[in-house]
Amino acid sequence: MKYRLMTEKIDSLKNFFIKKVRNEIKYEEFFALKQVNFSIRKGEVYGIIGMNGAGKSTLLKIIAGVLKPTSGRVLKRGSVAPLIELGAGFNGELSGYENIFLNGLLMGYSKKFIKSKMEEIIDFSELGKFIHTPLKNYSSGMRARLGFSIATVVKPDILIVDEVLSVGDFKFKEKSEMKIRSMMKEGTTVLFVSHSLGQVESICDKVIWLESGFVKEIGAAKEIIAHFKQHA
């Protein structure tokens, strides 16, 4: 995944267009990911670790289809549920109840299906009477709880989780982890990113260690995490 970064700071839109017309804007290439190659079998649980800026979230977004890679390809078999930016399609002016419909439709669910799962989503989110409150009044934890409850109401073939379990109170984190574990037991393939190495080690079978956009190591979770700790 290659990005083009401007080599100088431009203070205004006017200056940007002037330099653009004169072809005076200089860029340098930056690879967020390079020469990344791996395969995951059905039902495996893979953790992705690395320092900030290593390319973890970029990799998950490419696999989820949110980003298109500059080169290379991703082959997926089955349905994918990306828990990457929970509530990204929410509307702050609408209530939580209305946003369940909005987010569900964006995820490809039918109105009939959303209605049949409405009570289950509300119960899991634990929002109670706040479900009829405009989303703009929700805390980040409340939004994440609602987003997680909608995204996991069906069992996908592939679940992509990026720092989701770091949002919200301790009780809901435990509940969310139990939900993910139950999906894993049912054969869902999981790609998991978390800053908590203990969480990665307890949930994942294998780990991919990214460093500056490259794959440094792939192997058993306990072994790779131990190497990572020594390196860090």
Q: Does the pLDDT at position 15 exceed 90?
A: no
- Highest mean pLDDT out of 4-8, 30-34, 208-212: 208-212
Q: Please report which confidence band the pLDDT of residue 107 belongs to, taking 50, 70 and 90 as the band edges.
A: confident
Confidence grade of residue 29 (pLDDT, cut at 50, 70, 90): confident
Taking a C-beta distance cutoff of 8 angstroms, is the pair 7, 29 a contact? Answer: no
Q: Which of 24 and 159 is assigned the larger pLDDT?
A: 159
**Would you place residue 80 in the very low, low, confident or very high pLDDT band (cuts 50, 70, 90)?**
confident
pTM over 0.85: no
**DSSP symbols for 77-116:** -S-EEEESSTTTT--TTSBHHHHHHHHHHHTT--HHHHHH
Q: What is the pLDDT of residue 47?
A: 94
Position with higher pLDDT, 6 vs 155: 155
The pLDDT, as a whole number, for residue 16 is 66
Q: How many CB atoms are located within 10 Å of the residue 93 CB?
A: 10
End-to-end alpha carbon distance in the chain: 25
- pLDDT above 90: residue 141: no
Three-class DSSP category at 150: helix
The rounded Cα 171 to chain-centroid distance in angstroms is 21
Q: How confident is the model over 38-60, as pLDDT tens digits?
A: 999 999 999 999 998 899 989 99
Instruction: Give the pLDDT score at 155.
Output: 81
Task: Give the residue, 125 or 7, on which the prediction is more confident.
Answer: 125
198 DSSP 8-state letter: H
Determine the Cα–Cα distance for residues 73 and 71; give it in Å rounded to an integer: 7
Residue carrying structure tokens 């690879």: 31
User: Residue 221 has which token pair?
Assistant: 């979770």
Tell whether the model's pLDDT for residue 134 goes beyond 90.
yes
Query: pLDDT tens digits for 150-190?
Result: 888 888 899 888 876 665 677 887 888 888 888 888 889 99
Tokens of 169: 């109170």
